[in-house]
Chain A
Amino acid sequence: MYSLITLLFVVPVLISLLLLIVPRSLAKPLVITTALLLSAISVYLFIDTEGVYYFGVPAYVNDIVTVADIILLVFFGWIAIKKRSWIVGLMSLLQLAGLLYLLNSMPAHHSLQFMVDKLSLFMFLLINIISGIIAVYSLRYIDEEHCSSFRKKYFLSTIFWFIAVMNLVVSSDNLEYFFLFFELTTLASFLLIGFRKDEVSVKNSLTALWMNQIGGLAILAAIFFIHHNDYGDATFSNLLANAKAETILLPLALLSIAALIKGAQMPFSKWLLGAMVAPTPVSALLHSSTMVKIAPFIILRLSPALKDTPVANVIIALTGFVFIAAAIGALSQDNFKRILAHSTIALLALMIMMAAVGTPVTIVASLILVLFHGISKSMLFLNAGILEKVFHLKQSSDMDRLGESGPFTALVITIGFMSLLLPPFGAFIGKWMSIESLGALATDKKILGALIMVAVAGGGAVLSLLYFKVMGLLIARTGNEDKIHFEKTGPFYTITTYLLLGLLLVTVVGLPLLLNNYFTPVATQITGTTVALVTEGWTMYLGAVKLPLLPMIIAFLLLPVTMVAAMFVRFKNVDRAKEYMCGEKVNYSFSSFYFSTDRATPYFATAGILFFVALIIVALI
């Protein structure tokens, strides 16, 4: 067991080093086998493990970690000098100072540094499978980038050591180790965003760097407060054990701030939006499926301690606001990847909110959202990459011919959007449960609950509108040709897309099974109370939340299947006529509507700030 977990840490690092040296022809099979190996290990671990495993590492690893920490921070400082960015420099100095102070004043560790529980195994599954698919995809993608062949190897290699770091992040218990791995993900993000080396990329990578460094600083401050108040070793388990202590809220709040920054919640959302200039596998991997999922992961880890505290209420208020604000912000975007980024921020807000509420049902909702959002968003981003490389399309207003020239990609993007939206796909169920379970919150904190319910439901409606707006562009077709010819994009692109589609289908069809064997055990372990899934006739009960199955099944047949069928349906023996243009014979090409929010923005901003302040006040009452 331990050996398998260690494999998950070590194998990606080895492969990353190997990729720098081997020639291209060897790289392909290497990447594919590694992806398969990592996925297989994580699946086996999840199925076969019960209970929580703690394990420690020999003492010299502690020293290695400390040295690595310091080297990393010095490297950040060097970047600051090289790129002349005073704020990165300031952050690095503060972090270095904090780290050295802590190293001096911290007592020796007594507890074990790594903890692998069901939540970690769940995250392993998500990380390894999705990263594997994306790594295979980037084999082809990076071939078409304009850069030296060494940089291409460097790209693949960075992706792999990033996978290792993610595996380490979700299994660390010790907060100092967690800090190192957190900062390493920041480093990966910085390097990969700046990959293309043009001015915009460099600027955005620096923004990502200093914003995430604030998160690192927050973690250091949390460690400081834990020691200052004598809670023992700075570990997650210790925090949870001391959940009833008086001043425990401060470290919890600081860790939550780190989570909110990593999850690009407002006011820290600028870095994620700017990160979209990176190559698409980066956006798919870091900024939608794995790295930003550290945010709900932290809150999930801390949720037994956070539940029903003022910190949780503030988090709920903040993320509720972000959900609807990001959804509205997305309406005015034209760049396809930016639309996806806004939608990521919105859904992350929902995941964090669910984790902060902390009842068993909401935890299940959060987990469902994490998994399904990971699959759907990575599929959407991979197709955005296909759009970029094969069709040379970045702005969604240019995509109005895609229904004819690239029907398969249009279909996949449509399915991807629908999977975030429609029943019975998991993300919808996640949103669904969030509304239902917020009802539970609303009984004792009425105003907050009511406002949050409105924000969630309203944000859901706005997001639906957004997705339908983009889908509308993809579906436009002249009536000239009725037959659909699916286009061919290379095998790597098609196979990875099919894999993700297949995953989506399997998870949807197997949702009841998944709920029972997958999500509820994780939730049970986190919250400590049993969560059971009971089926009565045509309704499923999860805790007190009712899931009416029959309407959902019919809705599935009506809506997603309709969308897919619309592409293939053919009415025979029916005339085809021209569109009505008042008799004119000209062909118009028309794009979609832009909710240009320039003049309305001050309006929205004031309304938003008022709403937000009101929420915070209400949360603290």
Chain B
Amino acid sequence: MKLASYRKKSPWILHYNAGGCNGCDIEILACLSPKYDIERFGMINTGNPKQSDILLVTGPVTKRSRERLVEIYAQIPEPKVVIACGACASTGGVFRGMYNCEGGIDQYIPVDVYVCGCGTRPEQIIDGVVQALAILETKTKELEESVRLNKEALKEESQLNRRNIADEIKPAFI
């Protein structure tokens, strides 16, 4: 019984808004509603990184939210996929170049699927998630190297201490 095949049957979602305008967030929540109903794929919106597999991020990374984004990313156990929802999360969208935004989230965490649209539609989001599930099945349980985490996870005796790996990040822009 290949356990990996069960990853796509029960993906749990964590949704994080990294500073966006809420348009994409509303569309994500619409996915859970009766019209689009992603629960038929077994997806639950957990609020908790420790129990989720898929990180759905909306909004461009602002200076305020970059540390929190990385911290939450670090708390999700492997295997995990990150989906950047919307133009802002992918490249910065309409906010690209603003003094407080830093462009897409791939400056800080590795992204697996980019879903485009400014106000992505629920159909696009579902499509993106389904593609991410295919990627999820191929992932291993090793810690992925995050683009901008400064600290390594400490190896203590026989365990990995990842409590502080998100303490310092290398900012993309000062």
Contacts and interface: CB of A to CB of B under 8 A. Distances in A.
User: Do chains A and B make direct contact within the complex (CB under 8 angstroms)?
Assistant: yes
Interface of A: 479-480, 482, 571-578, 580, 582-585
15 contacts: A482-B159, A571-B159, A573-B159, A574-B159, A575-B77, A575-B153, A575-B160, A576-B161, A576-B162, A577-B74, A577-B77, A578-B74, A582-B72, A584-B71, A585-B166
B19 to A, nearest CB: 12
B67 A583 contact: yes
Given A583-B72, A585-B167, A572 B160 contact: no
A570 to B, nearest CB: 9
Contacts of A572: 157-159
A577 B159 contact: no
A392 B72 CA distance: 38
B50 interface: yes
B146 interface: no
A580 B161 contact: no
Nearest to B167: A585
Given A572-B158, A585-B67, A578 B72 contact: no
A544 to B, nearest CB: 50
Interface in B80-100: none
Contacts of B167: 585
Interface in B141-169: 153, 156-164, 166-167
A571 B163 CA distance: 16
B68 A583 contact: yes
Interface string B37-78: 000000000001110000000000000000111011011010
Contact of B163 (A574, A578, A583): A578
Task: Indicate the member of B157, B158, B159 with the most A CB atoms within 10 Å.
Answer: B159
A575 B161 contact: yes
A580 to B, nearest CB: 6
Task: Indicate the member of B71, B74, B153 with the most A CB atoms within 10 Å.
Answer: B71
Contacts of A574: 159
A580 B50 CA distance: 8
Given A584-B68, A585-B166, 6 more contacts: A575-B77, A576-B160, A577-B50, A582-B68, A583-B69, A583-B72
A573 B75 CA distance: 17
A573 B163 contact: no
A577 B162 contact: yes
Nearest to A481: B156
Interface in B7-47: none
A576 B71 contact: no
A580 B49 contact: yes
B16 to A, nearest CB: 8
Contacts of B67: 583, 585
A577 B162 CA distance: 5
A580 B75 contact: yes
Contact of A580 (B48, B153, B156, B160): B48
A572 B75 CA distance: 19
B159 A575 contact: yes
A574 B163 CA distance: 12
A572 to B, nearest CB: 4
Top 8 closest pairs, chain A to chain B, by CB: A583-B68, A583-B71, A572-B158, A578-B163, A575-B160, A576-B161, A583-B72, A573-B158
A251 B49 CA distance: 70
A106 B163 CA distance: 80
A48 B74 CA distance: 69
A89 to B, nearest CB: 66
A482 B160 CA distance: 12
B160 to A, nearest CB: 5
